[in-house]
Amino acid sequence: MNEFFQDFKQFETTVGGRPLVVEIGKMAQLAGGACMVRYGETDVLCTATMSAKPRDGIDFFPLSVDFEEKLYSVGKIPGSFQRREGRASEKAVLASRVIDRPIRPLFPKDMRNDVSVVATVMSVDQDCPPDMAAMLGVSIALSISEIPWRGPIAGVCVGLTDGGYVINPTAAEREASRMSVVVASTAELVAMIEAGAQEVTNDEMFEGIMFAHAENQRLVGFIQSIAEACGKRKIAFPSNDPAPEMYEAVKSFALEEIRKALDTDDKRVRDERLKPIYQAVHEKFDGIYPEETAKLDDCLYKTQKYAVRRWLLDDGKRVDGRGIDEIRPLNAQIDLLARAHGSGMFTRGQTQVLTVTTLASNSMSQLLDGIDEEDHKRYIHHYNFPSFSVGETRPARGPGRREIGHGALAERALLPMIPSIEEFPYAIRLVSEVLSSNGSTSQGAICASTLSLMAAGVPLKAPVAGISCGLVTEGERFMTMVDIQGVEDFFGDMDFKVAGTHNGITAIQMDLKIDGLTPAIIREALEKTYKARLYILDNVMLPVIGKPREELSKYAPKMLTTTIPVEKISEVIGKQGKVIQKICAECNCKIDVEEDGKIFICAVDIEDAKRALFMVETIAHDPEVGSFYKGVVTRLMEFGAFVEIAPGKEGLVHISHLDIKRTERVEDVVAVGDEVVVKVREIDDQGRLNLSRRAAMIELDGMKPENTVSDAPRRPAPRSDDRRGGFDRNRGGNNRR
């Protein structure tokens, strides 16, 4: 290495059977800590920097974590007008959160210096996930920096295939895997879990977590060796904690009143009771601590935390009087919105979520412009958390990271149960509106979403419910409790959220305020959430709606599908799209054509969709001799009339075949624009159609043409080798025509 990089060091190991190389001292040398992580052909630059002085006027630790996707990493130019990377994609936000959650509890809680952590993805090998490389790189950057931090942590993803558990599965292994579980660990404890799964059992999930934890412990040792080789001395910082004597004075003055205020199951009552206590504390102590009045609120927060934790650990008492494993009062409702395609509301205590389902053609799937191989998704889940849900006032600024994260968790929980596009050819959008929040709204959103989907008639494979488990620890002692409300979340140590069906787990998200969990705590949380999940499904949700509805809402679009020969696609579309546009206009429908010949026809009225399907199949599959069609007269000639039986498909009715009686002039029988029923009597060597109105009149019992057939034209039964199918959704499924 040349003179510019005299401090360059390189460290190597393997993860999941692929090489991982860490380079230090070559790039970003002015950052507090920096490293380039090369995992296979995935390259991620990770930096950690701290401000020189604490930020004034704040009562929290200001940490920012950014996972930056650069599209040059996969050889793409951004699709935006500016051709620049814009706001972080949803997946980038989720990757940032996954990195943030295990590192945040390891920072000093009383530090107020800004810390910025950035992972810049510069090259992507799809077999070597960049988010896992970034998590390791961030841990290394923090470990070698001067920033106070009690790491390192390490993180891997574990999959489950027929061959067993796999660390950081490749793209092919991810396709075959029954679960994708990201686990972060310290040297001893499990620090974070983020999981999506296809109904795996508690034992399968627990063993997968422990499998990942063992690999993480090896990687923590690898990172520690890097820190020993080139780490900087950690700097001192001014503590923002109140002095012990201040805290003890406030606690002695306010503890009994705080206990009385907290002892209620109503968040509004609790908040009102606390207001005069805050006022009394400031009246008494502002003069005693004139330079530190802001820290009095910290003392009151710590006193509340002390009261709640002592109740739980010493008395087995919960703030609202429930038993340790007792769930708050539950309620489920459907069909709250008349025009929505589906709606469901789930209430748990003072937590209430309304989810609305919207169905549309597959062309409404969301387009994605990211660094992985997924370019669109047809199932979209959005989550909104307005300020009124917690009794506050703040302007709406669009979804924050928390809203994006909770929407993604609900989406992940339900995704394994969403039918395939072949079973249900719709794009599906769910919007979960949090109406009231007092703990675990994300799990309420999962329950409400199941209700909404079944009410909309989406054929879910199984209903999904979610519930959270809390934790309080003291030394070796610990206590877990089911269905934590807001105050238990604020003052507790864990929010362990698990969603799933009767058969198994579909999603997990674990948030911690402590360094990590022991295997015993994880096992207990899985068991408690399993029992609670079944109770919610069997006693609350399924009695309201036991299975998906057989029919869609009358306001929802109806979908038919078929497959045509690829070489016929151009005929169906027509020159400059004229044919397909004409079908859509005449049938009041929307038609999507896939490159492989799949056709999706979407209309609010099923009869409109059937007419459009008939037209498409008439164009794509040559009409059969003997078939009957309803067509429109387009031209009159001396020798007959031309009739269009489908856009772009026209045939001649010779004057001798216009009527059952002798015809002298064509215009005496039909006019341009008339609808007539005709029979295909011949297809000549050049593919031209010869039609007969006379034969149709005779063979259809001599009835008048306008009363011979319905708007859905009659056709003979298909040949035994006919492969054409259609999706008739007033129950779902591919039905042979």
- Output phi, psi for 142, to 5 deg: -70, -40
- Phi/psi region, residue 574 (left: phi>0; alpha: psi -120 to 50; beta: rest), is left
Q: What is the signed CA dihedral for 228, 232, 238, 240, rounded to 10 degrees?
A: -50
456-485 pLDDT, tens digit each: 999 999 999 999 999 999 988 999 999 999
CATH of the domain at 576: 3.30.1370.10
Identify the helix (H) or strand (E) that includes residue 64. Answer: strand 63-69
Write down the pLDDT at residue 628: 87
Instruction: Please report whether residue 643 resides in a domain.
Output: yes
- Output phi, psi for 706, to 5 deg: -70, -10
Residues 572 and 658 in one domain: no
Cβ atoms 407, 368 nearer than 8 A: no
Residues 210 and 249 in one domain: no
Domain extent for 611:
557-622
CATH of the domain at 113: 3.30.230.70
266-291 pLDDT, tens digit each: 989 999 999 999 999 999 999 999 98
Q: Does position 706 have pLDDT exceeding 50, yes or no?
A: no
Q: What is the pTM of this model?
A: 0.85
Residues 469 and 485 in one domain: yes
What is the mean predicted confidence (pLDDT) over 86-93?
91
Instruction: Please report whether residue 455 resides in a domain.
Output: yes
Residues 346 and 274 in one domain: no
Q: pLDDT band for 709, please (50, 70, 90 cuts).
A: very low
Residues 96 and 196 in one domain: yes
Residues 308 and 386 in one domain: no
CATH of the domain at 286: 1.10.10
Write down the pLDDT at residue 239: 87
Write down the pLDDT at residue 725: 37
CA 694, 700, 704, 706 dihedral sign is negative
What is the mean predicted confidence (pLDDT) over 214-240?
95
Cβ atoms 41, 93 nearer than 8 A: no
CA angle (496 as vertex; 203, 534 as ends), nearest 5: 60
CATH of the domain at 629: 2.40.50.140
Q: What is d(CA 16, CA 585) in angstroms, rounded to the nearest whole number?
A: 55
Q: Does position 642 have pLDDT exceeding 60, yes or no?
A: yes
Q: Does position 622 have pLDDT exceeding 80, yes or no?
A: no
Residues 660 and 561 in one domain: no
Last residue of a domain, one of 315, 347, 375: 315
Query: What is the C-alpha R_g of the chain?
Result: 33
Residues 593 and 650 in one domain: no
Q: Does position 331 have pLDDT exceeding 60, yes or no?
A: yes
Give the residue from 68, 216, 236, 43 showing the smallest Cα distance to 139: 216
Give the residue from 185, 168, 189, 181 showing the smallest Cα distance to 220: 185
Residues 86 and 73 in one domain: yes
Residues 108 and 139 in one domain: yes
Give the residue from 39, 22, 37, 28 showing the smallest Cα distance to 5: 28
Write down the pLDDT at residue 612: 92
**What's the mean pLDDT when you consider all of the chain?**
90
Q: What is d(CA 417, CA 398) in angstroms, rounded to the nearest whole number?
A: 29
Last residue of a domain, one of 622, 644, 666: 622
Residues 88 and 213 in one domain: yes
- Phi/psi region, residue 82 (left: phi>0; alpha: psi -120 to 50; beta: rest), is alpha
Instruction: Please report whether residue 269 resides in a domain.
Output: yes
Q: Where are the alpha helices (DSSP H) in 286-384?
A: 294-310
Cβ atoms 11, 2 nearer than 8 A: no
Instruction: Please report whether residue 728 resides in a domain.
Output: no
Q: pLDDT band for 723, please (50, 70, 90 cuts).
A: very low
User: Hey, which residues does 359 pair with through a beta bridge?
Assistant: 428
Instruction: Please report whether residue 549 resides in a domain.
Output: no
Q: What is d(CA 547, CA 457) in angstroms, rounded to the nearest whole number?
A: 9
Domain count along the chain:
5
Write down the pLDDT at residue 2: 62
Residues 279 and 374 in one domain: no
Residues near 464 by Cβ (< 8 Å), separated by ≥ 6? 413, 414, 417, 446, 447, 449, 450, 499, 500, 501, 506
Residue, of 238 and 165, whose pLDDT is higher:
165
Helices and strands of the chain, counted as H and E runs: 15, 31
CA distances, 223 to each of 39, 255, 342 (Å): 15, 44, 50
Instruction: Please report whether residue 532 resides in a domain.
Output: yes
DSSP codes of every residue in 7-62:
T-EEEEEEETTEEEEEEESSS-TTSSEEEEEEETTEEEEEEEEEEEEEPTT-SS--
Instruction: Please report whether residue 279 resides in a domain.
Output: yes
What is the mean predicted confidence (pLDDT) over 668-691?
89
Write down the pLDDT at residue 75: 93
Instruction: Please report whether residue 731 resides in a domain.
Output: no
Last residue of a domain, one of 315, 342, 364: 315
Query: Hey, what are 604's tokens?
Result: 């609010």
